[in-house]
Amino acid sequence: MKKLLATSAVALTTLSGAAFADGHAVTACLITKTDTNPFFVKMKEGAEAKAAELGMTLKSFAGKVDGDHETQVAAIETCIADGAKGILLTASDTSSIVSSVKQARDAGLVVIALDTPLSPIDAADATFATDNFLAGELIGKWAAATLGDDAANAKIAMLDLAVSQPTVGVLRDQGFLKGFGIDLGDPNKWGDETDPRIVGNDITAGNEEGGRKAMENLLAKDSGINVVYTINEPAAAGAYEALKAFGRENDVLIVSVDGGCPGVANVKDGVIGATSQQYPMLMASKGVEAIAAWAKDGTKPALTPGKDFFDTGVSLVTDKPAEGVESIDVAKGMELCWG
């Protein structure tokens, strides 16, 4: 209840802030996929805090559900009409949104993609995101190192996001396989690998129910699975329930990506072996800073050297560190977690 009140209070302040803002304040827009996912909730908090600090007005928009493209287009149009200086965007449909983004940039707004790169990536002025391939690579390396010699005979279940293969899911999946030491097919899609250690790919929609069902399906295919890659921590929690029902929860290694607080708690409880943690608040606050700089003197946001985006960092969270793989412990992960 306290939390609810606090959230409403924040919402109210934002509202009144928007209503009474004077004509000189710089307006920035934040457009997220949804406003229900804790990841985006944290992102919004980070943006709000930074905007308040810099004396900017932040207007937040969100799709109704993940994949709600139309609402995001309408939000971009609203921001242009509103005279905003810049837009922070986590796109639901990374290629269809490009024409709207171009419209905004032509109107003199700086557009920064947060978390999810547009396709092509240079359709936005910059991308502030987790290196999802690296996030996958870290858990892949950790799993291989933890198994040691047994890695050569591993039976791996790949619990992916969706059949449409959004880039974030592909990058994590392919990063994991590379880190584990498996030859990739086309690195732009998952499911085309020929290594016999992969039992199969299934989709989870990134939630518990999907994770459980996908795990059951793959266990029905091969009950000897001993390594499970999951797209995110809710899917991992679902997979664990399925393994528990099969009596296999203690001899299977589950790895994941995200670093949400329930996920890190699951690492602590041994449900998840290791997870790659990302930092949504940092993405948002850096994004707001970039818009402020653009509004001030037209400075374009800088990219991380050697990458086509600004890397907001990723850390492997585990209490069983493996040799040769850098990681932070659960206590540290808990401090930095979101949601």
Partner 1 sequence: MSSADTTNDGVAKFEQPNRGFLGTVQHLLHVNPALVPLIVLVASIVVFGLLLGSKFFSPFALTLILQQVQIVGIVAAAQSLVILTAGIDLSVGAIAVISSVVMGQFTFRYGLPVEVSIACGLLFGTAIGALNGWLIAAMKLPPFIVTLGMWQIVLAANFLYSSNETIRSQDIAENAAMLQFLGAKFNIGGAVFTVGVLFMVLLVLVLAYVLRHTAWGRHVYAVGDDAEAAELSGVNVKGTIISVYAVAGLICAFAGWALIGRIGSVSPTSGQLLNIESITAVVIGGISLFGGRGSILGTFFGALIVGVFTLGLRLMGADAQWTYLLIGVLIIAAVAVDQWIRKVAA
Binding site for partner 1 (CB under 8 A): 1, 3-4, 7, 36-38, 41, 65, 163, 200, 202-203, 207-209, 212-213, 216-217, 220-221, 234, 237-238, 240-241, 244-245, 262, 265-266, 269, 271, 339
Least distance to partner 1, CB of residue 153, Å: 21
Least distance to partner 1, CB of residue 41, Å: 7
Least distance to partner 1, CB of residue 54, Å: 26
Least distance to partner 1, CB of residue 99, Å: 26
Q: Which is nearer to partner 1, 181 or 339 (CB)?
A: 339
Exposure pattern of 187-223 as b/e (b: 16+ CB <10 Å)?
A: eeebbebeeebbbbbbbbbbebebbbbbbbebbeeee
Least distance to partner 1, CB of residue 37, Å: 7
Q: Which amino acid is at 95?
A: S
d(CA 268, CA 316): 13
d(CA 275, CA 229): 10
Q: Which is nearer to partner 1, 140 or 238 (CB)?
A: 238
d(CA 338, CA 270): 19
Q: Which is nearer to partner 1, 181 or 200 (CB)?
A: 200
Q: Which is nearer to partner 1, 209 or 308 (CB)?
A: 209
Ramachandran area for residue 191 (φ above 0: left; ψ -120 to 50: alpha; else beta): left
List phi, psi (to 5°) of 258: 150, -65
Q: Which is nearer to partner 1, 241 or 289 (CB)?
A: 241
Least distance to partner 1, CB of residue 266, Å: 7
Spatial CA neighbour of 172 closest among 183, 157, 187 = 187
d(CA 146, CA 141): 8
Least distance to partner 1, CB of residue 335, Å: 18
Q: Which is nearer to partner 1, 40 or 133 (CB)?
A: 40
Q: Which is nearer to partner 1, 199 or 255 (CB)?
A: 199
Q: Give the C-alpha distances (Å, rounded to integers) separating 92 from 117, 148, 230, 234.
A: 10, 39, 21, 20
Q: At what angle do helices 280-297 and 38-54 cross, to 10 degrees?
A: 40
